[in-house]
Structure 1
Amino acid sequence: MLLSLNWLREFVPYEGTPEELGHRLTMLGLELEEIIRPFSHLDGVVVGHVVQCERHPEAEKLSVCLVDVGQGEPLPIVCGAPNVAQGQKVPVATIGAELPGGLVIKKAKLRGQVSAGMICAEDELGLGKSHAGIMVLDPGLAPGTPLADALNLDQVVFDIGVTPNRADCNSVLGLARETALAFGLPLTMPAPRVVESGPDCSAMVPIAIDDPARCALFQGRVIQGVRVGPAPDWMRWRLIAVGQRPISNIVDVSNYVMFELGHPNHAYDLNLLRGPAIRVGLAAEGQRFTTLDGQERTLTSRDLLIWDAERPVGLAGVMGGLETEVGDATTDVFLELAVFDPATIRRTARRLGLQSEASYRFERGVDQGLARRSLDRAAALMAECGGGRLLPGVCVAEPAPWRQRTVRLRRARAEKLLGIPLEDAFCRTTLAGMGCAVDEADPADWQVQVPSHRLDLEREVDLIEELARVHGMDRIPAVLPRVAKSLDAIGQKDTRFDFAMLLKRWARGVGLREAINYSFCGQADLDLLGLPAQGRVPVVNPLSEDQNVLRTALAPGLLANVRTNVAHGAARLRLFEFAHLFFADPASETTAREPARLGLLVYGRRRAERWPWPGEDNADYADLKGLVEHLLTHLGLPGARYALREGHSYLSPCVEVSVDGHEAGVLGRVSEAVADRYDARREIWLAELDADVLRTLHEALAPGFAPLAKFPPVRRDITVQAPAGLHAQAIIDAITGMGVDLLENVTMTDLYEPQGGQRRNVTVRLTYRHAQRTLKDKEVDKRHAQVVEGLRKALPVEI
């Protein structure tokens, strides 16, 4: 919101510095983003008095002037404007001034005559569009006066960041209320100078509203005999200061009142309205409508239109229609001011990508209680600036009148929430400054009537927040809350948090990068993965269709990470995510069950592309399973079982992991169809592990102690020639199943598979050790021979 300091001072007598005002508004929650000097380009432009004006001796269309600019000797200036004359007060750009467009004024010679400045036209100063001649100023101005001061231009403009809940601050009036509240100043509302004449127009334009929920109020006034032309200088210059392009007196008045009071309005050419009549109703599906910018828009059945007796004439709350636009031939104006449903306007404006100053305000809500005053203010100014007459009476339909809201306020509750004492006088003054009426019949429980412009005050806590805001959030001391804990609870740990940190430290330690994704995803994402619709938790007011449901798997977020990284040229990904899933559960306190999951994703090359690995081999199942096995070993949960699982919705193949009979998760390759939808160029290997199950099993482990071995081991290798289909684990199981004493450990150390052969060589290493003494060779030889003989009998192998 751009706020002119001069404009603000028409409402409140603020005499402080701009910086002080900006700081105070910021501390009230209305952040000052920038102080703008909209007419800083006029710094070198002053008022000049044309002392002498003669025709140029060598150019018929040029004049040679002597201009007094209050700097001693008059300056010689060559001017080509046809209306320059002796005795005029004119704007003069002195040497060194830089005008809009980058023109720097320098001393020069024009057809042999010295020119030490420039007498300027309106467009050359950025004050309008006219270039018919130079600007002629008030003859009472003193030469040398800076032009910005002479014209009383708005030289200080604040750029205020207004939060969406403070719709009342999208106007000069709203920010003036805040200024008056902050500095204890009186607030003066501009009084509409309504001068009416002619017949009553109350029934001239009948108004019908199809749905009161979409349009609570629609009213209008008629101005006859207007002449469309430029608005007064002061209005055009003020609109320029707040970033608006002046168009005509009728349109400029409409914009001026919208910025001043915060209520959008729209002027129709009354003679182009058919009927004349007005109806507010929905569009037909696929209906086309041409807006003021000349663009034809395709509408839906959820878009709200303003109709005359035969056709649509405006896109409600967004933009008017081209067919009833006010133009040079307009003589009679129907001025409309309405209150529309914010959600309807927001939906239409965003779908069409048609953001306007009007839609910005309607989307956040407007003050229905100020509607009549705003209409009268705009109508009076249009009649004054357009030279027309304002007819008495108002055409109005208000099926949903504004109702006074009353909110309770308990000072004891406010003090408890804020942690500071509050005086009755402070609370009373603050609420009154906001426009509230306070009933103090019960000293402990005030009844506060909320004004129509404060749409954000709905509950007691909203009023308490206002008290804190005005008191100063920075003045509320930071005090840690008192936490009551028993002595027994002091040593207890948050095992959920500790386990989460354990998993994250492990993942970072093995080289995985953490992914942090939104808890939201799209229904379409879950459908793509074939996940059941039952148990999903939809989002009531989603940010977008891509985030309209809470996730029931980690896969959508991790796969989206793949798509994003691949789009940025990544060829290798190692990701993990520890997060919660959400399933509808009426029995839960929050109506949703939130289990924890750990996701692991492997994509692309097995190793980073560097010497001595060219990076040609891609990661596969072995890499992913190795990570899972490493994690389980790290948690003290070895001995997991892996079994193929048929019919998984998005993993093919899919392997189910179980630990001690508990299902701990799944791992496998993302199906090709799903991987293609996420723009993957290589196989994606994904695991989702149940972190709650792993935590339960990990915490159930009982720590034990085994004394360290004091005596050296004896290691012997056995190489067996086995059929190709015989697993190495079968050989290890056969050896350990013999129950040979002194045998401490059996591991596989080598595997050789001849190309095209039907048999393979498996080498296993046996470790022998005695806990009380050093072994002798003959003792080991005896046990080792027993193992070799047992293997020949137990398995079809050769040794």
Structure 2
Amino acid sequence: MRINTGWLRDYLSEDCKESELLDAFMTVGLEVEEEHDLAQALESIRVGFIREKKPVGDDGQYFECLVEIEKGKLVTILCASAHPVEIGWGVPVAIPGTKLPSGALISEGKFKGIRSEGMICLDGELGMIAKSTGLQVFKDEAALGESLPSVSPFQESLVEVSVLPNRPDCLGMIGIAREVAAVLDMQLKYPSQRVIQPAAGQSESVAVEIDDASLCSRYACQVFDGVQVRSSPHWLQSRLQTAGLRPINNVVDITNFVMLEWGQPLHAFDFDSLKGNRIEVRRIRQDEKLKLLDETEVDGAEQPLVIADAEKPIALAGIMGGWNSQTTAGSKRILLEAACFDPVCIRTSSRKLRISTDSSYRFERGTDPNDMLSGAFNRAAELLQDAELSAAKPASAITDSYPNVRERTKFSLDSGRFSKLLGAEISDEQIKDCLSKLEMTADADLTISVPTWRVDVNNEVVLAEDVARLLRYDSIVMKPMVATTTKGRVSETDSLRTNVATFLTSNGFLECRTPPLTTEQVALSFSQWPGDSIQVQNPISKEMTTLRQSLVGSLVEVTERNARRGASSFRFFEIDRTFRQNDDVIDERWMIGGVLGGYVNDSAWIASEKEFDFLHAKGLVENLFAHISVDDITFEKDTPAKGYRGEEFAALKHGDQRIGALGRIDLNELGIKDRARVPLYGFELDLSALVQVKSPARMFSGLARTQVIARDISILVPIDLRYAEIETSLEKAFASAVENLQVEPRKESDVAVVLQPKLENVICVDTFTGESIGADAMSLTIRMMFRDEAHTLTSGEAQQLMDYVVKQLNAEHGAVQR
């Protein structure tokens, strides 16, 4: 928002130094993006004298002027007839290459066949409030070639500020002046407002119907007759130009001026173009069309909110007026409107239709249906009746449809609470004094009533901040914080997250952070738990429409992008939330997701180095479980989730509880081109479930006194027999073998030895299939590692255990020792 400080001073009860005024902007909380002291910024503007003038064309709209900008140097400048110029006048001239405070760059150009070498500048174009006629004229030839500030001193600045989204009350000059006046301890000077009454005998009013009060909380309008549509006076045009708006005609300029003054958008319809003496605020119908002021056409596809008469839409509510109802030079009667629309509704329509205006910008952030709307409406009505502007007369009563009045919010404050928040002693009187400067009222018990234009005040802390900035932050004495120190601790979930991340990064994985929003196809892929997808009502792009139900889909996209850039090995993981909806409940889960593929050792120089397969991926997940102390996890065959291949997929369970899944990724199912060119495997684990099944912390045990014994057995088993069943049977058989073990006597001891060997580890060290053993069989070499903690087993005792295990495997599964 661009602010001229000369205009801002109109609303302050006292004058002040320009430096004080500019410093106040920072205390108000506005973000000052650019600041131009016009006395310095206009140094390059020179006073040039018009030596010749002749019309261009027959319409009399343009003149070719020969202007002397310094002694003996003449330039040709083409100027419009919007403001008269005469031979012998000294006028402000900007030569090519000059950059005006508004950001406009003056350049040399050819127009209507004439090369123009500069620009004769009006006050508004220079960022100044108009002096007299809006064009500064000098008669003293001694000013020739002098800079404008040296011959016409002025004290104004042009400030570009960014208004925070939660402060829509500062989108008008009065709102900013209110804050500045409070900081500088002045009074806010409101513009004069007269109570508008209809003309004698003209009590009829326009009927207003609001279909949905949640979309339009208030709508006020009044008809004015005898309107004289013409150019605005220079004082009004210059104010619009300093704010970056183009003057159009007096009626439109009045509505724009009041919008900049109060922050409340207004609109004026040509009343004679309306039908039925009736206004409707409703959604546009499917069969209706509306041509806007910029000549674009809106249909019923997006169902935006419109203003309609008894027959048709006449304006796009809160955004832009209609072409057929605009105020023109021939308009004699106008309908002035002021309304308050729902910010979300206006924002949605503006985005969908890709139309953004100064009005929509303000409505999207929220306008005040009370004082701001009433003040702006009455101010515009007064200006329309001004003889200098339009000399219109009221032709109807005011129609004010306000079904649900918005009341002021009240807060019961406590000076003790404020003192703790601000770290300084704050009294009741200080609180009342500061907040009253912002037009808040306080009762004797310090109950504060907040005006409805302050949409940001949602708790007492905001009011404490208002008090602090009006007392000035630098006036609050710094004190050390008084607080009781507490011992920090990490939750079990956070600890598990850290352990998982440590393990995976130490195994060559890179941690990713991907957006929770993705396409619907990817969002539904790899999901292991039931639930409906959650769609975003107003997505920012077609690639971010749905909340993901699995992390693996996002990691596959990361893998695909890396493969597209030449990567050949992939190890990515992410720990984040997934979302799904079950009936009316949102299921939000913390998950661990991973994708891996490529060489097992990606730094190996051997060309035949192995690539990741399902067993490698399974082993990595098992090692992860061992690292985080999660035991008794089984890998069971199950129907694969979308995105996994059926022949290489396993559900991970702890008893009957599902923990996660592991499987080979099917890129064809996802419609993604396989740029990786290696098998990809994905796993996903439920973090909250892991916390529940996690084993207690393990106790330290001393080093074993005896040596571990390792024995291999090679067996033929049916090819469709699951290895997990073999390992389970092997463990049971070993336990039975220990019970039936015949202990050999020890020479060093006369006492009978009792042996209780324990099976410490079982590893499948080799597999083989081929014609030599038959198509339906598979050869496994399994290494068993066991020991007795008190005695070393003899070779005979170890062989007894192995023979018993093989016998039991043969009995249960038909395993044959090779």
**Aligned equivalents of 2:359 and 2:480: distance in 1?**
44
Give me the whole-angstrom Cα distance separating, in 1, the residues matched to 2:587 and 2:67: 86
* Deviation sequence 1:661-703 (CA, Å, 0-9, x none): 7643322245667633899977653322233443344442441
Aligned residue for 1:510? 507
Establish whether residue 575 from structure 1 lines up as the match of residue 572 from structure 2: yes
Deviations 1:267-325 (Å, cap 9, x if unpaired)? 22233333454333332135321111101112358532222333221111110001122
Tell me, in whole angstroms, the C-alpha distance in 1 between the residues paired with 2:488 and 2:88. Answer: 92
Matched letter for residue 633 of structure 2? A
Is the 8 Å Cα contact of residues 380 and 390 (structure 1) preserved in structure 2? no
Q: 1:400 aligns with which of 400, 403, 409?
A: 403
Q: What is the CA–CA distance in structure 1 between the aligned matches of 2:586 and 2:99, rounded to whole Å?
A: 65
Q: Paired residue for 2:661?
A: 666
| Structure 1 residues 753 and 592: alpha-carbon distance in aligned structure 2, compared to 1, 3 A threshold | closer
SS of residue paired to 2:8:
helix
**1:239 partner SS:** helix
Question: Is 2:621 the partner of 1:621?
Answer: no
Q: Give structure 1 stretches of 5+ with no counterpart.
A: 56-60, 106-116, 129-134
Counterpart Cα distance in 1 of 2:284 and 2:222:
22
What is residue 110 of structure 1 aligned with on the other side?
none
Give the aligned partner of residue 254 of structure 1.
Answer: 255
Q: Letter of the aligned partner of 1:694 in structure 2?
A: L
Residue 576 of structure 1: how far off its partner (Å): 2.3
Shift of 1:238: 3.3
Report the equivalent of 1:138.
137
Is residue 598 of structure 1 aligned with residue 598 of structure 2?
no
Alpha-carbon distance between aligned partners in 1 of 2:124 and 2:489, rounded to the nearest angstrom: 74
1:173 aligns with 2:169: no
1:12-60 alpha-carbon deviations (Å, 9 max, x no partner)? 2463455x6555434443222332578987532222456x7799xxxxx
Change (3 A) 1:153 1:524: farther
2:219 and 2:337 in contact (8 A); partners too: no
Q: Give a deviation string over 1:388-440, Cα, whole Å, max 9, x none.
A: 32203653232337454251322144445555432122211111111112221
Task: Give, in whole Å, the separation in 1 of the partners of 2:548 and 2:431.
Answer: 45
Secondary structure of 1:314's counterpart equals: strand
Q: Distance in 1 between matches of 2:786 and 2:525?
A: 55
CA contact under 8 A between 1:49 and 1:89: conserved in structure 2? yes
Contact 2:28 / 2:180 at 8 angstroms: preserved in 1? no
- The structure 2 residue matched to 1:633, chosen from 626, 629, 633, is 626
Aligned residues of 1:77 and 1:119 also touching (Cα < 8 A): no
State the SS of the aligned residue for 2:204.
Answer: coil
> 1:476–1:98: structure 2 CA closer, same or farther, 3 Å change rule?
closer
Moved more, 673-682 or 40-49: 673-682
The residue type equivalent to 2:429 in the other structure is A
Secondary structure at the counterpart of residue 143 of structure 2: coil
SS at match of 1:625: helix
Over the aligned positions, Cα root-mean-square deviation in angstroms equals 5.0
Q: After superposition, where does 1:770-789 map in structure 2 within 5 Å?
A: 780=795, 783-784=798-799, 787=802
1:324 is paired with a residue of what secondary structure? Answer: coil
Bigger CA drift: 559-568 or 624-633?
559-568
Question: Shift in Å at residue 171 of structure 1?
Answer: 0.9
In the alignment, what sits opposite 1:435?
439
Whole-angstrom distance in 2 between the partners of 1:316 and 1:657: 56
Give 3-state SS (helix, strand or coil) of 1:309's partner.
coil
Contact 1:208 1:397 (8 Å CA) reproduced:
no
Are 1:645 and 2:642 counterparts?
A: no
Q: Residue type matched to 1:389 in 2?
A: A
C-alpha distance after superposition, 1:499-524 (max 9, x if no partner): 22112211211122223456678988
Q: Given the two structures, how large is their TM-score scaled by the length of structure 1? A: 0.78
- 8 Å CA contact 1:53, 1:86 repeated in 2: yes
The amino acid across from 2:614 in the alignment is Y
- Supply the distance in 1 between the matched residues of 2:222 and 2:27 (Cα, whole angstroms): 39
CA deviations over 1:74-127 (Å, ceiling 9, x no partner): 44425577997653222345798678655489xxxxxxxxxxx97743599966
Contact 1:562 1:678 in 2 (8 A): no
The answer for the alignment partner of 2:701 in structure 1 is: 705
Deviations 1:605-646 (A, max 9, x none): 346877747799874423431221110222344553221123
Q: Which amino acid aligns with 1:189?
A: Y
Match of residue 319 from structure 2: 318
Q: State the AA in 2 paired with 1:605.
A: G
| DSSP 3-state at the match of 1:323 | coil
Superposition pairs for residues 351-750 of structure 1, below 5 Å? 351-367=352-368, 368-382=370-384, 388-392=390-394, 394-400=397-403, 402-411=405-414, 412-440=416-444, 445-457=445-457, 459-471=459-471, 475=476, 482-483=483-484, 494-517=491-514, 553-555=550-552, 558=555, 573-580=570-577, 596-602=590-596, 604-606=597-599, 612=605, 619-637=612-630, 640-646=633-639, 648=641, 651-653=644-646, 654-659=649-654, 663-670=658-665, 675-676=670-671, 685-709=681-705, 730=726, 733=730, 736=734, 738-739=737-738, 747-750=763-766
Please state whether the residue corresponding to 1:305 is helix, strand or coil. Answer: strand
Aligned pair count? 754
Following superposition of structure 1 onto structure 2, how do residues 23-172 of structure 1 map, counting pairs within 5 Å?
24-36=24-36, 42-49=42-49, 74-77=71-74, 79=76, 87-93=88-94, 101=105, 103=107, 120-122=119-121, 137-139=136-138, 143=143, 146-147=147-148, 156-172=157-173
Whole-Å separation in 1 of the counterparts to 2:608 and 2:259: 64
Structure 2 letter corresponding to 1:160: V
Q: TM-score, normalised by structure 2?
A: 0.76
C-alpha separation between the residues in 1 aligned to 2:527 and 2:766? Answer: 42
The answer (yes or no) to whether the contact 2:222–2:335 under 8 Å persists in 1 is: yes
The residue identity in structure 2 corresponding to 1:575 is: F
Contact 2:5 2:157 in 1 (8 A): yes
Distance in 2 between the 1:296 and 1:586 partners? 41
Distance between the aligned counterparts of 2:483 and 2:583, measured in 1? 33
Change (3 A) 1:525 1:85: closer
C-alpha spacing 1:298/1:253, structure 2 compared with 1 (3 Å):
same
Alpha-carbon distance change, 784 to 369 in structure 1, aligned in 2, over 3 angstroms: same
- The residue identity in structure 2 corresponding to 1:597 is M
Identical amino acids, percent of aligned pairs: 25
Which amino acid letter does the alignment assign opposite residue 248 of structure 2? Answer: I
**Equivalent-residue separation in structure 2 for 1:700 and 1:634 (angstroms):** 13
Q: Distance in 2 between matches of 1:693 and 1:212?
A: 47
Contact 1:223 1:379 in 2 (8 A): no
Q: Is the 8 A contact 1:745 1:768 kept in 2?
A: yes
Q: Mean alpha-carbon deviation: is it higher for 191-200 or for 365-374?
A: 191-200
| Cα distance change, pair 356–636 in 1 and its aligned pair in 2 (3 A) | same
Q: How much has 1:348 moved relative to structure 2?
A: 1.9
Q: Runs of 5+ in structure 2 lacking a partner?
A: 55-62, 110-115, 128-133, 742-754
In structure 2, relative to structure 1, the CA distance for the partners of 1:476 and 1:256 (3 Å cut) is farther
Distance 1:451 1:78 in 2: 56
Task: Say if 1:480 and 1:633 are closer, same or farther in 2 by CA, change over 3 A.
Answer: farther
Q: 1 CA distance for matches of 2:118 and 2:806?
A: 111
Structure 2 match to 1:228: 230
